[in-house]
Amino acid sequence: MRFPSARAEITSRPRRGGALLASVLVLCVLALSAQAPARGHRGSVLQSWILTVSAPVVRAVASVSRAVSGASSSAAEAWTSRDENSRLRARLAKSDEELLRLRAEVRQLRDERSLTAAAPFLPVVVGSAPVLLIERRAGLQSALVGIGTSAGVGAGSPLAVPEGLVGRVITSGRTMSRAQLLLDASAAVGARIARTGELGIVRGDGRGALLLNHIPTTSRVRAGDLIESAGIDGIFPRGIPIGRVGAVSPGSNLFLDIRVVPTAPFARLTDVLVLAAFPARDPAEGSSAGR
């Protein structure tokens, strides 16, 4: 039993000695390389070895660092760009809103100047009013205007624009009124052919056109003739343009069928002038005044 254990002890001793010897040799090599200068470089051989071995690791770490830094910079730039784009979009939306407001103000000012310029050529202008709503259905042609009894406007007040007659107020509240447009199927106005002096009645057809009635077939009326208010209906003043003759054709009962194209822009009414009612003069009153 003693003989085998002694052999194992003898075997283990050379192994330990070899390891110790190898360690001593490595330490000696390291010590020498730490003191031996590197060829063509500053520093020792050991430092050169360490730099050579660690170079790939350093490069890998540097690459990862650059990638992380680049990704972080890209993310920061993207965030900054999105934030800047949001601010620019908000600024652009505000500029568009301001531009629309300025355009609306300019258009309103232009319309008001146009109405003001037309006022001296129209009889007794009470004031101007915005058109709030236009209603068109089943022959009905009406509008809501932003003026009422507080401004002295009541039922029967005529409405006009620089281009011509528009209609009349039929009901009025304190600050708002409902008007019947000339295009309404039940609207009528005493009319006169400006060139020939013939009198008739202009009625709306409820679909956007006007008809001139009671003009005999012997009339010399022709397309393009101006039709104006005659002042014989007790509502509308005399001499305001209504429209121009668009077509003339033979009718029934010895009268012509005459279609009139309105001069007022009914498709784009924004503001109107309110006129004072102009009743027709009674013939008896005129004869008595002449005595």
199: domain CATH number is 2.40.10.340
- 173 within some domain: yes
- 129 within some domain: yes
- 77 within some domain: no
- pLDDT (0 to 100) of residue 116: 57
Contacts of 152 (CB under 8 A, 6+ apart): 126, 127
The more confident residue out of 22 and 247 is 247
Q: Are 232 and 278 a contacting pair, CB within 8 Å?
A: no
- 249 within some domain: yes
In the predicted structure, residue 34 carries a pLDDT above the cut 50: yes
Among 222, 213, 230, residue whose Cα is nearest residue 280: 230
- 163 within some domain: yes
**Rounded distance between C-alpha atoms, residue 68 and residue 64, angstroms:** 6
**Tokens standing for 168?**
């009349």
- 266 within some domain: yes
Among 280, 281, 276, 278, residue whose Cα is nearest residue 154: 276
Give the containing element (helix H, strand E) for 229. strand 226-229
Q: Over pLDDT 90: what percentage of the chain?
A: 38
Task: State pLDDT tens for residues 96-146.
Answer: 677 666 665 555 556 555 555 555 556 678 888 999 999 988 889 999 999
Task: State pLDDT tens for residues 128-138.
Answer: 899 999 998 88
Instruction: Name the band, by pLDDT with cuts 50, 70 and 90, for residue 281.
Output: very low
In the predicted structure, residue 289 carries a pLDDT above the cut 50: no
Among 171, 156, 157, residue whose Cα is nearest residue 122: 157
In the predicted structure, residue 48 carries a pLDDT above the cut 80: no
- 213 within some domain: yes
Q: Report the domain count for the chain.
A: 1
- 29 within some domain: no
The four Cα atoms 37, 43, 47, 52 give a dihedral, to 10 degrees, of -100
- pLDDT (0 to 100) of residue 45: 57
- pLDDT (0 to 100) of residue 223: 95
Q: What domain range is 180 assigned to?
A: 122-281
